[in-house]
Amino acid sequence: MSSTEINAWLREGITAVKAGEREKAYERLMAVIKADEENELAWLWLSGAVQTAEDRRICLENVLTLNPDNQLAQRGLAKLGPPPDETESASETGPRMEEKSMRKEFAAASPAAAILYPERQVQEARWQEPVVEQRAAQASYKSVSSYEDVWSRDEDICAYCAAPIGPDTIQCPRCKRKLSGKRFVYEKPSSSMHVYWVLLVGMGQLFLIEAIVNVLMGPNYWAAGGYVFLLIIFWGLAAGIYFRQSWAHISSIFMLALVLLGFLLNTLVDVDYAALGLAAFDASIRNFVGSFIGGLLSFLMIFEIATAVLALFYGIFKAGPDFEQRETRLIAAVTKGRRTAPDYHNIARRLAEQGLWASAILHWQRAAAQEPGQIAYAKRLGAAYLRLGFYQRGLDVLQSAHNMSSHPPTKAELERQIRLAKQHLAAQQAEGETAVTV
């Protein structure tokens, strides 16, 4: 199917959603997704065409899988609220009351309205009827082969390469990486730390202005040099704060306290006209220029004092937790807390970017277990297995994903990875046979 046909179906589906023709919209958008299952826009508009909250949640989660920064999908999921407890099971034989409804639908004004406010486009008459229902167990990811490796045993493994490690292992025996070290208590810096950084940069800029004023109006090079020195110090501390260095945090608080003390001791003095080179001018001119310069310096000092006080407040009371670190051991583990498949997928991507491939695999396993039909998760999981040398596992996962996929570019990429896995597996088996022979 050509991209022109896919785009035409997509346009028809979007038009149908706007017109309130949900059956037509569902048909067109599903056709687009079958041809291109990674079409973010089709999944987004499909969430406005499906009938149930569960289906809408699946569509929006697929959007976030393709683009974690999609704000419409994030807001749509937030409006839907947390998913129902997956471990909750209904009674096998007991009846329950099921709600029935008649619906009348209206056209959506925009995609945002279709996604975020679906109830405004539907009027319902509702009643309840007793039904008997059995809930199937949640599907989970199962490989087609059985294995006996680190992923099937309950033991600690290196977060980087998945090598088995003991409780007292400090350095991984395979990848030689250090397995213990300090990590920040909070993974991402808070807004308070960013404000503190901005205030330190602002202090440096104020000292730069002071230096320029002393050069142009004096010239008083000694005072200008002192302000340039303070400028360098504060910008250097701001750079350390940006990279979350504890020494910069402590040093900046100390420097801010010294600057405030200096300002408090250096009370405003009369302008020295001789030092400013204005003694030869008429008294009226001297008074005007002197008052202007004196006012400018006074304003700068007041502004510097206010900035220093505010920065000291943030440095002591607000930004401190951003620099706290704790001793951790880098073993492969799943992030605590109940999460959705897209959550696990996004965490796995961040871990892989840091080189923590074994931990990333554990998260992609969870994502694939929650949504076995999501090819993106299986593709990433298979590629991660190959990266760490688990070729049989990777091959099985990639072949399963290939069998489910109907998107030609995705199938081609999976076929390339499958060929690579088979080559590595053959080489691995040949090495094993050679070792046995020797």
- Give the tens place of pLDDT for each residue, 277-309: 544 444 444 444 444 454 556 777 888 889 999
Query: Tokens standing for 119?
Result: 């109830």
194 or 70: which leads in pLDDT: 194
CA distance 271 to 287: 10
Mean pLDDT, all residues of the chain: 77
**Confidence tier at 382 by pLDDT (50, 70, 90):** very high
102-116, 192-206, 269-283, range with greatest mean pLDDT: 192-206
Q: What is the mean pLDDT of residues 328-351?
A: 84
pLDDT for 122 equals 53
**102, β-bridge pairs:** 125
Least confident of 43-57, 81-95, 109-123, 337-351: 81-95
pLDDT, tens digit, 9 for 90 and up, residues 232-261? 999 999 999 999 999 999 999 999 999 888
Q: How confident is the model over 119-146, as a mean pLDDT?
A: 44
Task: Give me the pLDDT at residue 291, please.
Answer: 47
Higher pLDDT, 105 or 160: 160
Do strands 325-329 and 95-105 pair parallel, antiparallel, or not at all (unpaired)?
unpaired
Q: pTM score > 0.85 for this model?
A: no
Beta-carbon contacts of residue 94 (< 8 Å; ≥ 6 apart): 132
- Say whether 86 sits in a helix, a strand or coil: coil
Q: What is the pLDDT of residues 5-34, one digit of tens each?
A: 888 888 888 888 887 788 888 888 888 887
If one counts every other C-beta atom within 10 angstroms of the C-beta of residue 213, the result is 18
Residue 191 has pLDDT above 60, yes or no: yes
291 neighbors 273 (Cβ within 8 angstroms): no
The SS3 call for residue 229 is: helix
Taking residues 356-382, what's their average pLDDT? 89
Q: Which two tokens stand for residue 421?
A: 């896995």
Q: For residue 389, is it left (φ>0), alpha (ψ between -120 and 50) or beta?
A: left
* Spatial contact of 396 and 145, defined as CB atoms under 8 Å apart: yes
Q: What region, left, alpha or beta, does residue 335 occupy, with left being phi > 0 and alpha being psi -120 to 50 degrees?
A: beta
* Residue 12 to residues 6, 37, 47, 324, Cα–Cα distance (Å): 10, 17, 15, 54
Q: DSSP assignment of 4-20, as one string?
A: HHHHHHHHHHHHHHHTT
Q: Radius of gyration (Cα) for the chain, nearest Å?
A: 32
Domains of the chain (ranges; CATH) run: 3-82+96-132 (1.25.40.10), 150-179+331-437 (1.25.40.10), 214-220+232-323 (no CATH)
CA nearest neighbour of 39 among 19, 15, 67: 67
Q: For 42-92, what is each residue's pLDDT tens digit?
A: 888 888 888 778 788 888 888 888 888 888 888 888 887 766 544 333 334
| Cα 123 off chain centre by | 38
Q: What is the pLDDT of residue 39?
A: 84
Tokens matching residue 155: 């033991």
The string of DSSP codes covering 262-276 is: HHHHS------HHHH
From the list 216, 356, 193, the residue with the least C-alpha distance to 276 is 216
Residue 4, judged by CB atoms within 10 A of its CB (0-12, 13-18, 19+), counts as exposed
How big, in percent rounded to 5, are the helix, strand and coil portions of the chain?
60, 10, 30
What count of Cα atoms within 13 Å lies in the side-chain half-sphere of residue 402? 17
Highest averaged pLDDT of the listed ranges 65-79, 108-122, 277-291, 365-379: 365-379
**Could you count the other beta carbons within 10 Å of the beta carbon of residue 347?**
20
Q: Is the pLDDT of residue 120 over 80?
A: no
Report pLDDT digits (tens) over 138-173: 333 333 445 678 888 878 899 999 999 988 888 899
